[in-house]
Amino acid sequence: MANPSTRAITSHVPVPLADQVDALAARMQRSRAWILRQALTEFATLQERHNRLTLEGLASIDAGEGVRQENVETWIDSLGTDQPLPMRRRRNSSGSRRLSLTRVPPFRRISLPPDATLLQFFRVTA
pLDDT at 124 over 50: no
Please state the φ and ψ torsions of residue 37, each to the nearest 5 degrees: -60, -45
pLDDT at 60 over 70: yes
Yes or no: say if 104 and 71 are a contact pair by the CB < 8 Å rule: yes
Q: List pLDDT tens digits, range 63-117.
A: 877 777 888 888 888 888 888 888 765 545 565 555 544 444 454 555 555 655 5
- What is the value of pTM for the model shown? 0.54
What's 2's DSSP letter? -
Q: List pLDDT tens digits, range 7-34.
A: 999 999 999 999 999 999 999 999 999 9
Yes or no: say if 80 and 108 are a contact pair by the CB < 8 Å rule: yes
What's 84's DSSP letter? P
Please state the φ and ψ torsions of residue 85, each to the nearest 5 degrees: -70, 140
